[in-house]
Amino acid sequence: MAAGCMSVPAPHPRALECNELCAQYITMGNLQAAEDQCDLGIQFSPQYADLWVNKGVIAFNRGQDAKAKEYLIKALRLNQDQAQAYNNLGNLYMKEQGFGKAHDNFQRALRVNPDYLEARYNLALAFKALNQPDKAKKELRTLLHVRPDLADAWAQLGQIAVEEGENETAIETLTKATQLDPKFTAAWLVLGNAFMEAGKPCEAKDTFSSCIETDENFAQCRNNIIVAERKCKLQDKALDDVKARAAGTKTPEGEYSVAIQAREKGLVNDEERAYKRCLKYDPKYALCHYGLYELFKNRSDEKNASVACKNFLKFASETEFSNQVATCKQYVSD
């Protein structure tokens, strides 16, 4: 953009004032008043790039994409360091599914201002759309180091984790998103799906219920909660059967029941000891190997987690424990 090197006069004080008022009216949603202020400012300083950027925002908000692009390109001809113009132009290309051009414009915005958080988030979305999840995750993590309170960024990390089959990671990141924004309907939906994929239908049922609380007409959560509730009841019945068989006896089933009760109380050491006693009674008791895997994984003890997973896969029935088998196969493979 050679034209960006031309000498542009400093904006008139009235143009600065009009630009500020224009931006305020845009925030308030009063686009006509915003346009009036921008047009007045342009009469004082027709080469003031910020006014043309705001004109582009107004056109974009009105659905006038071609006009918005025209105004933003004009702003960049006047000032090739106008980061907001690059970012907004990138948003237009994202809307058109021109993900490569969008990516280029978001990167240009960040070259002008590496602290431009919105542009960094948008760049992550562009990488995601370009099927480059590792680069998307890198941008999101960089963003979260600066602003760990951004629910949207946590939700995007969670969505990528779901797509990569990393259900526990997805649960962790999506939980953070919903904690930061309890009204985040889409995050509740994806979190519920992650619980289902992780073989935790009871947690999924509660999550879909929270989703419905944010939007009672959200069909996907209403449909999914029916499936989760049915699977949760089946799981509860299976656990009750285990507890009933184990009552008062020193058996692997009994120790597994003790471990589950310890988990519900948050007694991690007691849970681990119960799993180990379980395996003394029956080294082939698959559920106790899986319980140890979950404990070791939560501690980031990858070596022991891998051993526990391999032992689980030796003795588990794929038809009976399909989700857990899939999780362990993926973990061992990784």
If we measure between CA atoms, which residue out of 261, 280, 272 comes closest to residue 304? 272
Which tokens belong to 123? 């760049």
Q: For the chain, what percentages of helix, strand and coil (3-state, to nearest 5) are there?
A: 80, 0, 20
> Residue 203 corresponds to which tokens in the numbers above?
């947690």
- Residue 305 contacts residue 331 (beta carbons within 8 Å): yes
Name the phi and psi angles at 213, rounded to 5: -60, -30
Kindly state the tokens that stand for 160: 């990528």
pLDDT of residue 248: 45
Dihedral (CA of 142, 147, 148, 154) sign: negative
Tell me how far apart the 2 most distant CA atoms of the chain are, in Å: 89
Please write the tens of the pLDDT for every residue from 125-157: 999 999 999 999 999 999 999 999 999 999 999
Which residues are CB-neighbours of 14 under 8 A, at least 6 positions away? 40, 41, 44
Could you read off the pLDDT of 168-222 as tens digits, one per residue? 999 999 999 999 999 999 999 999 999 999 989 999 999 999 999 999 999 999 9
Q: What is the pTM of this model?
A: 0.68
Domains and CATH numbers, the chain: 157-230 (1.25.40.10)
CA separation, residue 81 to residues 59, 73, 215 (Å): 21, 12, 42
Mean pLDDT of 91-118: 97
Q: With a cut of 50, say whether residue 109 has pLDDT above it.
A: yes
Q: Which residue has the tokens 């070259």?
A: 111
* Crossing angle of helices 201-214 and 219-246, rounded to 10°: 150
**Residue-level pLDDT at 239:** 59
Structure tokens at 161: 């984790």
Q: What is the pLDDT of residue 322?
A: 85
Q: Retrieve residue 199's tokens.
A: 């073989």
